[in-house]
Structures are given as C-alpha cells and as structure tokens.
Amino acid sequence: MFRNYIKTAWRNIRKYKLHTIINVLGMSVAFLCSIFLFLVAWYEFSFDSFHQNKSSVFKVYNFYSDDQNESGSRRSSTMGLPVASALKKEVQGVELATRYKNGNGAVEYNGKEINLQLNYVDNDFFRVFSFPVVSGNARAPLADPGNIVMSAYAAKAIFGKEDPIGKILKVNVDGSWQNLSVSAILKDFPDNSSITYDLLVRTELRPDYTVNKDRWNTQDHDVYIKLAPGVSVQSVENSMRPVVEKYRAGDIREMTQRGVRPDANGDILALRLLPLSQIHFDIEKGTGPVTAKSYLYTLLTVGLLILIIAVFNFVNLNIAQAFTRIKEVGVRRSLGAGKRQIFLQVWGESFLICLASVIIGVAALGICIKPLNQLLSQHISLDYLLQPLPVLFTLLLIVVVSLLAGGYPAVSVSRLSTINVLKGNITVKRPGVFRKTLIVVQFIMACLLMVSGLIVFRQFEFMRTQPLGFSQESVISVPIAHPEKGKMIVSSLRSQLSAQPAVQSVTGSDINFGVGKDGGTSRISSGFDYNGRLIRSNVITVDYDFLKTMGIPLLSGRDFSKSFGTDTSRNVIVTESMAKSFGVVNPLGLSFITDSSEPRSTIIGIIPDIHLYSLHEEKKPLSIYLAGDNADYIDYALVKIKNLHPVEAMNLIKEAYKKADPGAEFNGSFIEENVGRWYNKEKNFSKILGIATGVATLLSCLGLFAMSALMIGQRIKEIGVRKVLGASVQSIAALLSKDFLVLVLLAVAIATPLTWWLMNKWLSDFPYRVEISWWLFFVSGIVALSVAIITISLHTIKAAVANPVKSLRTE
C-alpha cells in the first residue's frame, strides 16, 4: 500500500511540473537560508561547551554599587594580581583558580623570529579548562616558571617537524628576553572557544609582577575559578565578601564617604561570579569575541520567519493544486477510497516535495557555505549538520513542515462530499479567512524584514561615518612587534619618512584606533580622588605629533613639544569632559595625583572629547600622556599620508618599517578600515536582513501567485460574462486585483507599528542612534504593493484579455 502511495505521488509530482518546480524552488531556498541561520546560532550557542567542568567554572568580576556621581552600578572583569591566590586560599568552595592575561610576544629559535599571542596563566589553567595536552608534561605543564607551553599551531610554526619538547626558546616577555623550556604542546583551541592561546607562560614572569603582586587596585587580567563539587554559587559569593572587606577596606570606606549606597545584597563593592557558559554572551564582562544573545535570537527569528513564509506559500500552492484536482478526488472516492487514503495521498506528495527541498537546500548550502562564511564573517561547517542534534532537528523539520504544508489541503480535500465533487458544485471563488490570513502574515513578515533591514543598514552607516573627533582618512596604523622599543621605532620611521612628500607626519600610541589586522584591542583607565571628587578617565600614552597626525584640534593650552623636557614627566593633555570633572574654572596648569607611587600630573592642554572606542559606548573622559624614553611602551605607529597614492604610500611605510624593526611582520592598515571593524556585527546583520528580505519577498510573491491563479481559475466564466456584457480589460483587472491588494494594505498597516516598536527596542541599546523615519514605512508599503500588483497582474491581465467564447462555450 505504501509503495502505491509513493508511486501515485511521484506520478502527480511529474504531472504538475510547474507546481512542483515552484514548490521545490521556494522550499529549497527557504531551507538553505533557515538552516544556515540556525547553524550560525547553534555555533554561537556552542561556545565553551566542550569544557568538561563547564558547569563549575566561573569568571570573577567586580561589582560596584550605585554612585551618586555615576549612572547606575558598574561591573568590571579585570582583576588585581593577588585576587586569584587569595580566593583559592581563603574562600571555601574554590578548588582551583587561574589568572589569564592576553598579550603578544616574539619568539626566537635558530635565528628565526615569529610574533605570536602570548598569554600569562597559572598552573591551574590546565585543570580549570579542558585543552588536551598533545605531548609533553600533561600533569603540570607550568609547574616550573621557566617552562613554556604552546599550541600545536605555534609548535609547527616555530619548529616545523622537529620535536619541540625540552627545546629552549628565547621569548620576548613584555620587552624582556627570557630563555624558556618547552614543557608541553596543547591541541589548538577550537573555533568556538572564548579562551585563545599560542604561547602560555607563568604569570610570575610579568616584569611588573614584583611591584604589583600585592596591589588589588592595579587590575589588568581575568580570573577564573573552579568550584568544588556540590558548592553553590551563592555560598561562594557570600564567602568572598569577607575577603573583599579585608583587602579593599579603603575602597569601601572611600565609596561610603562619597555617599554610595549598598545594593539589595548589602554590597557596596563585591566580587561575583559569571558562569563560563555566559562569557561569550556578556558584552560588559565577557571574554573574546562576545556576541549578544539578542543578536542570536534575532537570527533564529529571521530563519523562522523565512521558514514560516515558505510553509504558508507551500500551503497556498497545495490548496491551488488540490482544488484543481477535485474531480480526480471524486473519482477516487467513488471507487472506494476513504478519507484516510485521500489524506495520505495528498500529504505524501507534500512529504516528497519537502524531502527533496531539504536535500536540494542542503546541497546548495554545501556549494554556498564558503561564500556565505566570507560574506558574513562566520566559521560554519556542514559537519555541524552531521551531529545528533542538528540531524534530529532536520528530520523533525521535514515532518513538521510537510504536515503543516500538506495537512490543511489534505484534510480539506478528504472531507469533500463525493456527490458534490462529481456534480462540480465545489468552488472557491473567494479566499477564506485562513487563506487570507496566510497572505497577510506573509506580507507582514516581508515588510517587517524590509524596514528592519533598512534601519539596521542606516544605523551601521551612521556609526561607520559618524565623526569620531579624530582623523580616520589617510592615517595608517602599524602594529609594532617590539613595543618596548616602540618609541625608538617611531623615531626611526619619522626620520626615514620625513623627506617623503607622500607623508605628512608620524607618531605613536599604546592603543590602536579601531581593530587592526593584528586583532588587538586594549583599554587603560584610572580612577583617583580629587578634593572629594571621584575622577575616572581612560588613559593613552603617545609620542610627539599625536594631535597633528590624528587631526585633533587644541581648544586651549599647548601640544607636547621637545622644547619642554618636563612633558615626559607626567604632563598631560585632557579632553573637555575630563577638564570639567575637576570642577575648576580654568584647569590649565592644574596638578593632581593619580597614584601615590607616581609624580604629580599637570594639565598643559585641553582638546574636544573624542570617541576613543566605538559608538557602542558613550564618550568618556580621556587623559593623554607623552611616552618617556625607556619606561613606556608604544604599540602602534601612526602615519598620516597625503591620500593621492595610498597603495604606494603603504609600500613606502612597509619598507621603512622593515628597516626600523628588522625581521618583524608588517600589518599596517588604514584607520578607516579599523574603525569599520568595530561594527562588523551590524554590518553582517544588515547583510543577513537584506538576504532575508529578498527571500521573504520572493516566497510571498510565490504564495500570492498561487492564490491569484486559484481565484482567477475559479472565476473564468464570470470574467467571460462580464466581457460579453461590455466590461473593459482595466475594470476586470481592477476587480480581480482588489481583494488581494486590500490584504497587502492590511499587512502594511499591521507591520508598520509592529516594526516601529521592535526596531525602537533594538536601537535603545545604542547610545548614538538614527531616528526611525516615516519614509521607511512608506517606501516599504510602496514596494510591497508594487510587487503584489506585478505578481497578480501576471494572471489578471491574461484572464482579462482572454477570449470569452472559450470560457462560455460549454454554457
């Protein structure tokens, strides 16, 4: 029996080729897009799930209660050097603790030098996280501070096919070259890991370790802990409270004097725990390339919308076909077929089409996966589909979609009266409520995606092009491989390029502007008390000609100059907001102390506020210091060029850098490109919505095409009578189109407030955002109506101009 169903279904599929092609095309495209978006979301949600102890590993972060001078409570994930050891020793329930600090380091072996990511960790790192040891000491790889652990990638890059275990490397650890012995090789971290590494060394090797090992307020790294079995997060957070009160009593006392009030837990300042499963999704306290869950839920929603539109389209097409085969159903019923047999026959055809669509969609995804990954900056592999959960999901998708798409027409057809069918009394002259709903919902989704895509694109363009207070164009940023020699390297570049007409000026900075090719980002901030005021400021260290190179004007005071020897001894240029935070009329010449171990800082110049970081956050006060000859690092050289021949200028700088730092890799990039990388999420989101809008519109048109074909097919004789009685082609076309256009207008009317509410909510996360303009909804409505008119007219005009004699011949 089942074999006969398959055979009959296959014959009908072949018989109605146009219907089958439209169905398979629409569903294949929908499955391709939806499965890709679901895989993207599944990949992001899988971050850090491979760790064996994932449920008991947490990231420690600082909590600061509401301050009367600040906007709400604050959270910070950077820790002081003594935190990890104090928690392990003094907090019951903390089994393991490790520090983790990102950095970069040069490695030299047999005359070959290579720059790699260098991280500072503790020996517990290898028991907190599940990164397998490929070779070497698996039990305690960093038990000896003279050891170094590296990834398989780093081992191959340095040693090639040579066995690295026990070999001695020269490693540049924050400017200090040290001989370290390779103790173990780790398997490369997976793509879905927040924790990354090339080289791992002990935290004690940091040059500032001796000075800062007991300072809780010098915070520049993350701390991860593993809880003992059966210990609750709440009990550990309660046990950490006395530790904070013991070691940060001065900070708590100062905050209390300023009027800071405890939160609901009674904390003014506390240490709290963030689960490992959340560090990829927490924008404020996360690790690595964080992704907001709202972004992933949006991807899932878009994928689901495309799938729903495709299913609705499938239903409409099946309805159109089912009611053109009414006499066939009547004959089957008269020959003894029951409702069950009719249902299985109609649903069987839907199942086969759905199965074929999934196979074609997955095959097409296999072809498109590489360009899609490149377009959307993803790391998705079809191998993910072979895992149990995605396989189960895909099979369930086939069954559910085929039931939804084939179930309604199957039930409708199987319930028809045999006598009425054979007499020809079954007609469908107007869409029913269900089918009207399908059309309206389809166009609501299409309009929603269309307007949302436009708003996301405008927001992306707004952030990308918004003036940041410094020059983006014609400035090249070059990561310096040896930042401890950064000032000397910048000086060498300045000497080599000063006579070049294509170069205007050269400077340096300890931070990059935007995200360069090295992927490095950093943030240094300070907080201090001035006459009872808490002053907070971002801090950068620069070289001479910084303001000139970056195109930042002086509002008052002067720039750093070699004529003033005191500029390298804590003279500072501040932004307007930083100057105002002191509460004095004229802050020029004002001196203040940021740290008892540092000399007094003196303000020599004031500049406008600038966006040192992306427009995802508000402008913050900024202090700019001049790098000293030996003590300060310069991580990036910044070169202002005349933008006439950018390629030639880049090559010129590349050659100069090779001479300034022989053997170092050149990774120069334009700051304009670097700034654009701040907004890759919005850029990719805009592309996804653009593709989704196109797919949704296409599928909606297919559904409208099917429904208009069904309705007009049922009214052929009515059209013939109207033409005989003198109706014009225009009036008939308008009559046939009216019902459908009313539904599209209704969809636009419903989609407008819904989209406005959703996008207002999305934009509320941005401190700087575009306004939602009325014309976006007007344009989307015009596009939706135009597409609907074009789609319907393919049938209406054909029916209106047809010879009425043919349709009335049998009357």
pLDDT tens for 660-712 read 888 777 888 888 888 888 887 778 878 887 888 888 877 777 777 766 766 67
Which token pair is 283?
């924008």
Residue 71 pLDDT greater than 60, yes or no: no
Measured in residues, the chain has a length of 811
* Model confidence pLDDT, tens digit, residues 17-29: 667 777 788 888 8
Give the highest mean pLDDT range of 317-331, 402-416, 687-701, 711-725.
687-701
Q: Is 90 exceeded by the pLDDT of residue 424?
A: no
pLDDT tens by residue, 168-221:
988 888 777 889 999 999 999 998 899 999 999 999 988 888 888 888 877 888
Rounded CA separation 186/338 (Å): 65
Count of beta carbons in the 10 Å neighbourhood of residue 465 = 11
504 pLDDT higher than 60: yes
Reference 470, options 621, 601, 607; nearest CA is 607
**Contact predicate 223/79, CB 8 Å:** yes
CA distance 431 to 444: 18
Whole-prediction pTM value?
0.78
Taking the CA atoms of 448, 437, 317 and 348 in sequence, report the sign of the dihedral they define.
positive
Q: What is the pLDDT of residue 83?
A: 92
- Position 325 scores a pLDDT of 60
Tens of pLDDT along 437-464?
777 888 888 888 888 888 888 888 888 8
Beta bridge partners of 120: 101, 201
Per residue in 354-374, pLDDT (tens digit) is 888 888 888 888 888 888 888
Contact (CB, 8 A) for 671 and 478: no
Compute φ and ψ for 154, nearest 5 degrees.
Answer: -65, -40
d(C-alpha 123, C-alpha 121), whole Å: 7
pLDDT at 403: 78
